[in-house]
Amino acid sequence: MNIEETLKKIKFDEKGLVPAIAQDVATKEVLMMAYMNEESIKKTLESGYATYYSRSRQQLWKKGETSGHLQEIKGFYYDCDGDTILIKVKQIGPACHTGEYSCFHNPVVEYAFEEDMLNKLFRIIDNRKEN
Amino acid sequence: MNIEETLKKIKFDEKGLVPAIAQDVATKEVLMMAYMNEESIKKTLESGYATYYSRSRQQLWKKGETSGHLQEIKGFYYDCDGDTILIKVKQIGPACHTGEYSCFHNPVVEYAFEEDMLNKLFRIIDNRKEN
């Protein structure tokens, strides 16, 4: 991994930030979304722990530094147009400051889902292609 | 579900937008992130299909309208501070315009992960509390 090369692939917004989605590597649940700047990406990749940029406090924010609810980096990805980051983390304790496991604990709608055969088949084939 | 009540809970940015993460309800993989405005949230919840706001084209964008790669809404959530949306979708075909299943197909780092017992236990207890 070359951090400088990675930074060149990332499109930062006019404030020098990029949204970063944190996903639990174990459960695959989406935990939270926060922002990173160049420095926080460097810190994240160098230290192996998620470090964001706090827009309210205007400073680097190592997730869990005071609470102990650290996020150990297990994967770091950027999307097709380089303007969003996805990190897969080993989440220590709850991710949300409310004490909830995930920040996305407010459902507006939730429908039952049963995967149909065609979709399942597509997914299996697609997975085989990739792995 | 009351759409007007939902809209009151969402904090739109200075451009009237809010980031929306799309997750595959079947595989739990994160597929993409795009932006929604008030109107696109209404359309999404009313139609049952993900509708974003295209910042480049400056118009509503029903995902898959031309490609057929629709996202059927199976869950709609907002986060603890109301500034990010998570949708769980039944993804028809690939999510990414490149033809890849997910937009996050560029890994920078990927480490092996083996869940330790303590973490697993925490997760089981936390799940039991919620369900």
CATH of the domain at A67: 3.10.20.810
Q: Does A77 contact B105 at a Cβ distance shorter than 8 Å?
A: yes
Residue A127 has pLDDT above 80, yes or no: no
Residue A64 has pLDDT above 70, yes or no: yes
Range(s) of the domain holding residue A105: 3-130
The span from the CA of B96 to the CA of A80, in Å, is: 8
Interface ipTM: 0.89
B113 assigned to some structural domain: no
What pLDDT, in 10s, does the model give residues B42-75? 999 999 999 999 999 999 999 999 999 999 999 9
Q: Does A21 contact B27 at a Cβ distance shorter than 8 Å?
A: no
Mean pLDDT of all residues in B73-100:
97
B110 assigned to some structural domain: no
B117 assigned to some structural domain: no
B61 assigned to some structural domain: yes
What pLDDT, in 10s, does the model give residues A22-61? 999 999 999 999 999 999 999 999 999 999 999 999 999 9
B33 assigned to some structural domain: yes
The span from the CA of A60 to the CA of A45, in Å, is: 14
- In total, how many domains does chain B have? 1
Q: Does A77 contact B113 at a Cβ distance shorter than 8 Å?
A: no
Strand partners, B32: B22
Report the percentage of chain A scoring pLDDT > 90.
82
Tally of residues, chain A: 131
CB-closest option in B30, B79, B90 to A23: B30
Mutate to test the interface with A, among B28, B41, B69, B80 (most CBs of A within 10 A): B80
